Amino acid sequence: MFYHKKKALLALAVYALLSCGIPFATIASPFPVSQSQINIEALPSPSPEPVYVIELPLPPVAPSDDVDACTKRINPRGTGCIGKTAELRNGNFLPDNKHIVATVTFAGAPAAPDPASIYTGEQLIVIKTDGRTFANGDPWKCITCGIPEANRNGTTSLLEYPQAFKDGRRVLAGNNIVDCGAVLSSPACRPEKARIYPTYWPTTADGSGPGGTIRENRIHPDNMHMGFSSFTTTGGVMGQYAYFGRLVFNPSPTSGTPRVPRYELQNVTRLYDPSALQPFSVYGDELRINNEAISVGELRGFSGSGDELTYVGSNWESSNIDLFAADLTTGHVRRITQHPGYADPIDISADDKWSVILDTRSTNRTMFMAGLRHIPPLTDLVSSTAAASIRNNGQRRFFQPWLLDRAGDRGAYFGQQLNAAGDGSPGSVNDPQWNSQADPRWSWDRTKIAFYQTLTAPPQCGGVNPLPCPVSTADGGRTYRIMLATLTSRIPIKPRTVKTVSDLVPWGVPYVPGQTTPTRWYPPAGMYKVYGKVSGHAAVTLVENSAGNGLEAVAVRYEDYSDHVGVVIHGSENVTAVSDSLTLERVAWYSNLTSSGDQTGSKVTSDGGFHLLIDMMDTEFVANGTLTTTIDGEIYAQPENYT
């Protein structure tokens, strides 16, 4: 964790609590509290809660992927093994709060006709979370192993984002819906009765073709609708829009492929309106920043009541990637996170009072770029992709789970790390080599949270990388694990019934299959002024790229600029970003900023500037030159280059 010198006493107190083995930790604010935020920051912060974290049981591990590697000695019950480094995903809880769904990759099964041959490849399982076992003695049960081919027509990968419906019988897994015909954890749920149906989004005017490519699927709490995202490519530039639609089962489709029983997305809304208020607007020579604008980049889910959707959107502060929520009906936007760490996955409790997020805030990884607070997001017009991509080191993420109340980050409150207790030793719940992945999940009664982690592995360690590879202490040496955090002082609640929401999202645009995807609006090239909410201004120059489809460079000079009482920004920044391909970006960054007042700091590049080459998919950090942020004497340097 990082703490500024002004917070040293508080940091020592927190460290003392952790050293005594108390199973919780909070992170104090290393940033100034501005008077303009007092309406939010005056809200009292919740006291830290006791948290008990355990690792959930998984199938045993096969020593290799070879046929027959999963022997009876490894699994006497013949119910399969998973691969040592094979990916998995935790899902959400079943309605009884005693089981979660998950997807795993089975390996080493014997060849057919051995009954155990069905335990191979990506499969959906259910795991008991209460320490008990199923009738056969396993604490887990495979739902899709052995489903007849005739019952899985059109099935694609099951791995991503498993989410059980509230009926306890169906699970969204990847772009499929698994229907067991009975509660998944019950003996009546058997492979021969189960079905797997594809989901289908019609995107052509005549309904033909394989449908649209969808990702980041999230079930709405009414269990009738689904939110999702989809990539776009326009003029050699990659983009993404989010959508909201109704899931309707069609037993006999007459168009599109695959032409099998499927769930179709109907009455779809694109959650972007090019004619609505945008994050920036131009009034003569003035450029205005509109924080009330709805700017859904990647959809992350919904509130427990279903009234809001959560998303990663346009930054409110420079290089600071945050989570937001927008009301599905009114479009009211609220900011959930403020910390300069990168936040992405989120789940909101059924009563809407709590969020669990995955964030890099327990490390310094993004502080060199985002740590200086209250800088308006002007260079972000070209640098937001780079700011979002520095969060990982290739396949290694730096996420850990954090608990926030509904009001989110504010003042001295930046949440509670759920897995902070422990000695940091190999395999412990806070072992820094085990990093969380996507989608933590609340139990319906608001007392438990499931999340999964992966261990640092080659090429992020070993070889030419100077980081030694850790030795896994998990069963069979596997490098994935699923964790369960129990908030032991909480009294279980009964979630209220969620009514079916309207298909219409008033601030979105009804999607018409076959229509041309719009391009996101951006301010035209030119010279502008941005006036601080408290004082001063910024002189801004925007330069368009040679293709004429976006901005390429932003130069800013701040003069006594202040958006917050007590924090004044001076100096200049100049950022140019050029796309070498759809996902690879080359960034040249020159910065000489200072902050005075309650926050004393700087953001400075080396003499030749900071030059970053990064792929938004591979997220491998490769830079020449330096970008360094200093706050109250604390220095935050960039990560080492990926090697």
pLDDT of residue 10 exceeding 70? no
Per the domain annotation, does 507 fall within a domain?
A: no
Q: Are residues 211 and 185 in the same domain?
A: no
Confidence (pLDDT) at 643:
67
Q: Are residues 211 and 341 in the same domain?
A: yes
Neighbours of 218 (CB within 10 A): 23
How big is the CA angle at 49 (ends 45 and 55), to the nearest 5 degrees?
Answer: 135
Q: Are residues 47 and 98 in the same domain?
A: no
Per the domain annotation, does 641 fall within a domain?
A: no
Q: Are residues 462 and 595 in the same domain?
A: no
Confidence (pLDDT) at 26:
37
Confidence (pLDDT) at 12:
27
Q: Are residues 65 and 17 in the same domain?
A: no
C-alpha span between 450 and 509 (Å, rounded): 35
Per the domain annotation, does 286 fall within a domain?
A: yes
What b/e sequence results for 447-480 when a residue is b if at least 16 CB atoms lie within 10 Å of its CB, and e otherwise?
bbbbbbbbbbbebbbeeebebebbebebebebbb
C-alpha span between 414 and 405 (Å, rounded): 10
Q: Are residues 19 and 82 in the same domain?
A: no
pLDDT of residue 501 exceeding 50? yes
pLDDT digits (tens, 9 = 90+) for 415-473: 999 999 989 999 999 999 999 998 999 999 999 999 999 999 998 888 877 788 999 99
Mean pLDDT of 352-364: 95
Q: Residue 592: pLDDT band by 50, 70, 90 thresholds? A: very high
Per the domain annotation, does 288 fall within a domain?
A: yes
Q: How would you class 508 by CB atoms within 10 Å of its CB: exposed for 0-12, middle for 13-18, buried for 19 or more?
A: buried
Decide if 376 contacts 363 (C-beta within 8 A).
Answer: no
Confidence (pLDDT) at 616:
86
Q: Are residues 134 and 243 in the same domain?
A: no
Mean pLDDT (the chain, rounded):
91
Per the domain annotation, does 134 fall within a domain?
A: yes
Per the domain annotation, does 557 fall within a domain?
A: yes
C-alpha distance from residue 418 to each of 24, 35, 356, 433, 438 (Å)? 7, 30, 9, 16, 15
Confidence (pLDDT) at 593:
98
Confidence (pLDDT) at 21:
31
pLDDT of residue 16 exceeding 70? no
Range of the domain at 38: 1-56+398-495
pLDDT digits (tens, 9 = 90+) for 253-271: 999 999 999 999 999 999 9
Report the percentage of the chain scoring pLDDT > 90: 83
Confidence (pLDDT) at 528:
98
Mean pLDDT of 61-73: 96
Q: Residue 395: pLDDT band by 50, 70, 90 thresholds? A: confident
Confidence (pLDDT) at 42:
78
pLDDT digits (tens, 9 = 90+) for 522-566: 999 999 999 999 999 999 999 999 888 899 999 999 999 999 999
Last residue of a domain, one of 178, 199, 220: 199
pLDDT of residue 116 exceeding 50? yes
Strands 509-510 and 480-487: unpaired
Q: Backbone phi, then psi, for 5, in 5-degree steps? A: -60, -30
Mean pLDDT of 356-365: 94
pLDDT of residue 24 exceeding 60? no
Q: Are residues 143 and 282 in the same domain?
A: no
Last residue of a domain, one of 473, 495, 517: 495
Q: Residue 9: pLDDT band by 50, 70, 90 thresholds? A: very low
Mean pLDDT of 585-600: 95
C-alpha span between 443 and 484 (Å, rounded): 10
Q: Residue 236: pLDDT band by 50, 70, 90 thresholds? A: low
List of residues 6+ apart from 478 with CB closer than 8 A: 58, 61, 82, 83, 84, 85, 86, 472
Nearest to 121 by CA among 65, 74, 195: 65
Q: Are residues 51 and 65 in the same domain?
A: no
Q: Are residues 248 and 301 in the same domain?
A: yes
- At residue 174, the 3 state secondary structure works out as coil
Mean pLDDT of 273-287: 96
Q: Are residues 15 and 95 in the same domain?
A: no
Per the domain annotation, does 81 fall within a domain?
A: yes
Mean pLDDT of 143-149: 96
Q: Are residues 324 and 264 in the same domain?
A: yes
Q: How would you class 36 by CB atoms within 10 Å of its CB: exposed for 0-12, middle for 13-18, buried for 19 or more?
A: middle
Per the domain annotation, does 517 fall within a domain?
A: no
C-alpha distance from residue 76 to each of 12, 122, 138, 641 (Å)? 50, 21, 11, 46
Number of structural domains in the chain: 4
Last residue of a domain, one of 350, 380, 407: 350
C-alpha span between 612 and 625 (Å, rounded): 9
